[in-house]
Amino acid sequence: MRSFPVSNLTQPDAVLERLSFPVADELAARFNEAGHRLYLVGGSVRDALLGRLGTDLDFATDARPEQVRRLVTGWADAIWDTGIEFGTIGARRRGTDLEITTFRADTYDRQSRNPEVRFGDSITEDLVRRDFTVNAMAVELSTRTFVDPHDGLAALAARRLDTPATPQESFADDPLRMMRAVRFVSQLGFAPAPRVLEAIREMTDEITRITAERVQAELSKLLTGRFPRRGVELMVDTGLADHVLPEVPAMRLEIDEHHQHKDVYQHSLVVLDQAIDLEEQDNAPDLVLRLAALLHDIGKPATRRHISGGGVSFHHHEVVGAKMVRKRLRALRYPKDVIEDVAQLVYLHLRFHGYGRGEWTDSAVRRYVTDAGPLLSRLHKLVRADCTTRNRRKAAALQRTYDDLEERIARIAAEEDLARVRPDLDGNEIMRLLGLPPGPLVGKAWRFLKELRLDRGPLDHDEAVAELRRWAAEQGITPAGDDA
């Protein structure tokens, strides 16, 4: 699919000439022969017009789900019907995933979270129930007819988000659409229409009707979009963040003339931007790094203390922040590994500032690497992104200091294999030397030897055995005979 300027999206006929979907055309021919219509719809049309269509295609049809299943059987390489109760049949053909949904004319009671599914009879009826006008366009594939009853093409050209019905009706039907609006700001760089912004501000409380899992999915897509800062700012400005990520707007601390400090909220947005700049360009957006960058200072409001004579302190805000991160991300139903990774990055993000001008011992460097573990690369990026001082000389000095730390890590890693720091004696040898059965004492001895390894680096075998025996004597453990 070729990309072309959004400003060219003015003539539907010219647009249609640029669209080519071989798999979709094959499918449309099967539906047409059976007397049914097939439309490419929604985000697929939008993305095709923007030149960013992937290998997932969405369709709408007048055929009922069982008829759809019969039509794709024998043609598709794979079929799934997990969404059949909502009128959707999934299929795969030559590496392209297809979702084919019967026209919908859902109704909402505006109390529960799910619609009452009702099949419709026309594409017009189907499109009016969609979230935004840029997603309410369709192409009838057998006749190449462009269907745009809500001026979605004009909205797409203007990069404007508006709703087919009034935003109040749309958001009352499904409040998650407010989060989707914010997400599209981040993903596509679009701007909500004034009436959409007004409706979001009026209806933010409605987001509490939505399950945490659905909100989290939209938040993750927002944070991994092209312009996540815009999305976060819109969430905060409209009040959505008060329900989704209340710790972020809470960072907008009052600053008085006697106790000035950096604007924590704005600083966090800058760190988010700078962390994104440090991501590997060929890889997918790093959700863990972006969450950590946005939330690294959320412990500051709770730890702010005014210092006599002026100034402000935030002692242990990294410890408090890590706890807050765990609580918030659990509430949003993030996976356990994401929660722990983000919390650990928040906990460690300040440690570098104890490095000074290189005063750390090799032991301290080893501990930094060991505590970061597989997060070390992300921690490097977060710490560098966190250097946001306006003083250019100070910022450059901080970056040079971190360069020095990374060089020391590389040197020690090359000498000692830091990625595999473990005691010089394993559990089996500890039990043999001390005559211990498996149990807590073995673990205690193992941890002693690991701490020794971090402090002094690798020990030769005899030295490690001697240190273990010395420790055992201090613990009142009588070692077995000297059979080392």
pLDDT tens readout for residues 410-419: 888 776 665 5
Mean pLDDT in residue range 198-207: 97
Question: 197, 216, 244 — which closes off a domain?
Answer: 244
On whether both 268 and 394 belong to a single domain, the answer is yes
pLDDT higher than threshold 90 for residue 3: no
Residue 449 in any domain: the answer is yes
- List, for residues 31-90, the tens digit of each pLDDT value: 999 999 999 999 999 988 887 877 889 999 999 999 999 999 999 999 999 888 889 999
Would you state the pLDDT for residue 8?
A: 53
Confidence at residue 332, expressed as pLDDT on a 0 to 100 scale: 98
* Coil, strand or helix at 324: helix
The residue among 420, 446, 466 that closes a domain is 420
* Range 92-109 average pLDDT: 85
232 and 177 in a common domain: yes
Average pLDDT for residues 14-35, to the nearest whole number? 82
- Are 233 and 312 part of one and the same domain? no
Same domain, 269 and 258: yes
Domain contains 324: yes
Nearest to 341 by CA among 290, 281, 404: 290
Nearest to 86 by CA among 128, 58, 111, 110: 58
Q: What is the tally of helices (H) and strands (E) in the chain?
A: 23, 11
What pLDDT does 321 receive? 95
Q: What's the rounded Cα separation, in Å, for the pair 289 and 273?
A: 11
- The residue ranking higher by pLDDT, 304 or 256, is 304
Provide the domain count of the chain.
Answer: 4
- What was the pLDDT predicted at 362? 84
| Residues 10 and 142 placed together within one structural domain of the fold | yes
How do residues 360-392 score in pLDDT, each as one tens digit?
A: 888 888 888 888 989 999 999 999 999 876 677
DSSP-H helix ranges across 386-460: 392-416, 427-434, 440-456
203 and 327, same domain (yes or no): no
Looking at residue 310, its pLDDT comes to: 66
Assess if residue 483 is contained within a domain: no
Residue 482, domain member (yes or no): no
Q: What is the mean pLDDT of the chain?
A: 86
Averaged pLDDT for residues 115-143: 89
151 in the same domain as 198: no
Can you tell me the distance from the alpha carbon of 138 to that of 145, in angstroms, rounded to the nearest whole number? 8
Determine, yes or no, domain membership for 226: yes
Full strand arrangement of the beta sheet holding 88-93: 78-80, 88-93, 96-102, 56-61, 38-41, 138-140, 145-147
| Residue at 484 is within a domain | no
- Domain shared by 115 and 254, yes or no: no
Cβ atoms within 10 Å, residue 323: 15
Q: Are residues 253 and 235 in the same domain?
A: no
Report if residue 95 sits inside a domain.
yes
12 & 66 share domain: yes
Mean pLDDT, residues 336-350: 96
**pLDDT at site 429:** 81
CATH (domain of 206): 1.10.110.30
In this structure, the answer to whether residues 24 and 98 fall within a common structural domain is: yes
pTM comes to: 0.80
Q: Assign residue 63 a region (left: φ > 0; alpha: ψ between -120 and 50; beta: otherwise).
A: beta
Domain assignment present for residue 69? The answer is yes
Domain of residue 435, residue span: 427-474
The CATH number given to whatever domain includes residue 261 is 1.10.3210
Regarding whether 20 and 154 lie in a shared domain, the answer is yes
Could you give the maximum distance between any two Cα atoms of the chain, in Å? 91
- Out of 88-102, 377-391, 429-443, 449-463, least confident range: 449-463
